[in-house]
Amino acid sequence: MTKANTKDRNDLYLLSGKRVWVAGHRGMVGGALVRRLEREGCEILTVGREQVDLRRQEQVDRWMQRHAPQAVFLPAAKVGGILANDAYPAEFLYDNLMIAGNVVNAAHNVCVEKLLFLGSSCIYPKYAQQPIPEGALLTGPLEPTNEWYAVAKIAGIKLCQAYRKEYGNDFVSAMPTNLYGPGDNFDLETSHVIPALIRKAHEAKISGASEMTIWGTGEPRREFLHVDDCADALVYLMKGYSASEHVNVGSGADVSIRQLAETIRGVVGFAGRITADTSKPDGTPQKLMASTKLEDMGWQSTIGLESGISSTYRWFLENAT
Ligand code: GFB
């Protein structure tokens, strides 16, 4: 795995020797966190949903009391792409509210030393200034296709802030930009754009099709971050950040969906045309976060978009076809 370009610094919180729970270890971010934490000398705790349903407070409380983690990463969430968000508003709101509420409250009850909650760049207003600073939160209306998910994630940030303010708990929040990488969901109906276009380009190539179709106009712009970079940044924040305000985690560059499709077409080796299905939604016109706060702390991403897509395509060929 690529090592992020980080300055020397004194960490506030050491993970070495600690019991660290990754809640949601089977998800793409949770899996990357487990891989990254293997370098930290900590004991990594995990539990599957068949044993603990994070939407049930009593199950979370019981597990937390029994295993007493000292640090908690909370990437567990009901996630999906633009259509899944729009199609399942109840699950995206309820599941994510419950997961955040139950884990944060249980972490407080069992005196967890440090918790890092994960949100998403969709917490920001649809027409936020670009690049989006942390201070843009709650300054305007949300993008309708993902407002349910966004409201739950905003509630998670506020929970961490409330427990810090009232009880002094060291709970922090990170807002990653659109993520991709090994372990992603490649289902065309529910996935995000990168895994969807990898599958579409691959299947078009294999079947000898003359075109592949992207949703929407292709004009929206998105910022992408490889999940291994994200996991590295999350560990960096866990060790070195302790304050109320959430922190943006991005790569610092965005591309249009059409440019992204062309890059994926090149990586996969599909020679046909790219056509646009404008009956599908575009969503937010642009989502590029200002990650200057994290950069000023000394962290930068290291995995370029094309090389990240290449390695993700290899993972797809080996694991998801
Ligand atoms: O990745 P995506 O579903 O998430 O879509 P969002 C990004 C852009 O890619 C949209 C376009 O403009 C889509 O219309 N797109 C083009 C496609 N072709 C495809 C395709 O085949 N599949 C998909 N999925 N998109 C999500 C939020 O928004 O981002 C979530 O709904 C979360 O809540 C996540 O925040 C990070 O960036 O639009």
Please work out whether the CB of residue 85 comes within 6 Å of at least one atom of ligand 1. yes
Please work out whether the CB of residue 82 comes within 6 Å of at least one atom of ligand 1. yes
- Rounded to an integer, the average pLDDT of 263-278 is 98
- Residue carrying structure tokens 């289902």: 187
How far away, in angstroms, is 103 Cα from ligand 1 center?
Answer: 28
Element of type H or E holding 83? helix 82-87
How distant is the alpha carbon of residue 154 from its chain centre?
Answer: 14
- Residue carrying structure tokens 């590295």: 232
pLDDT tens sequence across 206-243: 999 999 999 999 999 999 999 999 999 999 999 999 99
How distant is the alpha carbon of residue 261 from its chain centre?
Answer: 21
Give the separation between CA 321 and CA 317, rounded to whole angstroms: 6
Q: Report whether pLDDT(23) > 80.
A: yes
Select from 294, 314, 304 the least CA-distant residue to 226.
Answer: 304
Q: Report whether pLDDT(244) > 70.
A: yes
- Confirm whether 149 is a catalytic residue: yes
- pLDDT at 7 (0 to 100): 45
Please work out whether the CB of residue 216 comes within 6 Å of at least one atom of ligand 1. yes
Listed in sequence order, the residues at least 6 apart from 258 whose beta carbon sits closer than 8 Å to its beta carbon are 214, 218, 219, 274, 276
- Rounded to an integer, the average pLDDT of 167-189 is 98
Buried b (16+ CB within 10 A) or exposed e, 156-180: bbebbbebbeeeebbbbbbbbbbbb
Nearest-CA residue for atom 6 of ligand 1: 82
3-state secondary structure of 5: coil
Nearest-CA residue for atom 7 of ligand 1: 193
Angle at 94 between CA 84 and CA 120, to 5 degrees: 60
What letter represents residue 79's amino acid? V
* Four-CA torsion 161, 163, 165, 170, nearest 10 degrees: -80
Nearest-CA residue for atom 16 of ligand 1: 215
DSSP at 80: -
* Catalytic hit among 88, 127, 149, 236: 149
- Rounded to an integer, the average pLDDT of 269-277 is 98
Nearest-CA residue for atom 5 of ligand 1: 193
pLDDT tens sequence across 279-295: 999 999 999 999 999 99
pTM of the model: 0.96
Mean pLDDT, the chain, whole residue set: 96
- Rounded to an integer, the average pLDDT of 122-148 is 97
